């Protein structure tokens, strides 16, 4: 068998950028709390975590790109909450946020983590922001550390 690449979840020495949407701030602030908790509990120094607030999930990729292009960050996390309304707006915001995050990551060579909750209703969002379905911000933080460390294995 050849090599197996599997990264640890040790965040010591990593620098992480977080981009968080203000839309549905009641939920996204909880995702941010979860992400901060996840990063710090895995050894990331609070001084090495920068946070940028944007209006909504649609704007996350643009600022994630600005952060990634500085070359300062080992990973960038996008946090947002998109809740379906009564029009097609939801689909446009979700699609562009997801596509944009994937593009930024591939274009900049920096792991950009999709920490955007996309739900049918407020209840589903609350469940994923620190209640019965965990905290997707925390999960995104762990993914960021894993991807940052995994990327270093290919240097």
Ligand X SMILES: Nc1c(NC[C@H](O)[C@H](O)[C@H](O)CO)[nH]c(=O)[nH]c1=O
Ligand Y SMILES: CC(=O)[C@@H](O)COP(=O)(O)O
Nearer to ligand Y, 71 or 85 (CB): 85
Give the residue, chosen from 11, 21, 61, 78, that forms a contact with ligand X under the rule CB under 6 A.
Answer: 21
12 is in an annotated binding site: no
| Interface with ligand X, residue 23, by CB under 6 A | yes
In whole angstroms, give the CA distance from residue 65 to residue 45.
23
User: Cβ-closest residue to ligand X?
Assistant: 56
Q: Which residues bind ligand Y (CB under 6 A)?
A: 82-83, 85-87, 89-90, 93
64 is in an annotated binding site: no
Q: What angle do CA 81, 82, 88 make, to 5 degrees?
A: 175
Pairing of strands 112-119, 129-131: unpaired
User: Could you tell me the smallest distance in angstroms from the CB atom of residue 24 to ligand Y?
Assistant: 8
In whole angstroms, give the CA distance from residue 51 to residue 35.
11
| Interface with ligand X, residue 117, by CB under 6 A | no
| Interface with ligand X, residue 58, by CB under 6 A | yes
| Interface with ligand X, residue 93, by CB under 6 A | yes
User: Cβ-closest residue to ligand Y?
Assistant: 85
If residue 102 lies in a helix (H) or strand (E), which one and from where to where? helix 89-108
Q: What is the DSSP string of 105-148?
A: HHHHTS-EEEEEEEESSHHHHHHTEEETTEEHHHHHHHHHHHHH
User: Could you tell me the smallest distance in angstroms from the CB atom of residue 83 to ligand Y?
Assistant: 6
* Active site positions, annotated: 89
- When CB distances are held under 5 to 8 angstroms depending on the partner's kind, the choice from ligand X, ligand Y, none that residue 86 binds is ligand Y
Identify which of 50, 53, 75, 48 has the alpha carbon closest to the alpha carbon of residue 63. Answer: 53
């Amino acid at each position: 068998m050849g090599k197996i690449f599997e990264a640890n979840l040790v965040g010591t020495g990593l620098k992480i950028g977080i981009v968080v949407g203000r839309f549905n701030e009641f939920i996204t602030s909880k995702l941010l709390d979860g992400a901060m908790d996840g990063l710090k509990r895995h050894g990331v120094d609070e001084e090495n975590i920068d946070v940028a607030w944007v209006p909504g999930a649609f704007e996350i990729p643009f600022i994630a790109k600005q952060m990634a292009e500085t070359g300062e960050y080992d990973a960038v996390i996008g946090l947002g909450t998109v809740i379906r309304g009564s029009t097609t707006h939801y689909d446009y915001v979700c699609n562009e946020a997801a596509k944009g995050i994937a593009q930024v990551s591939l274009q900049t060579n920096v792991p950009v983590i999709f920490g955007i909750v996309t739900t049918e209703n407020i209840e589903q969002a609350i469940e994923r922001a620190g209640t019965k379905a965990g905290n997707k911000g925390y999960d995104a933080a762990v993914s960021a550390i894993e991807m940052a460390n995994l990327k270093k294995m290919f240097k």
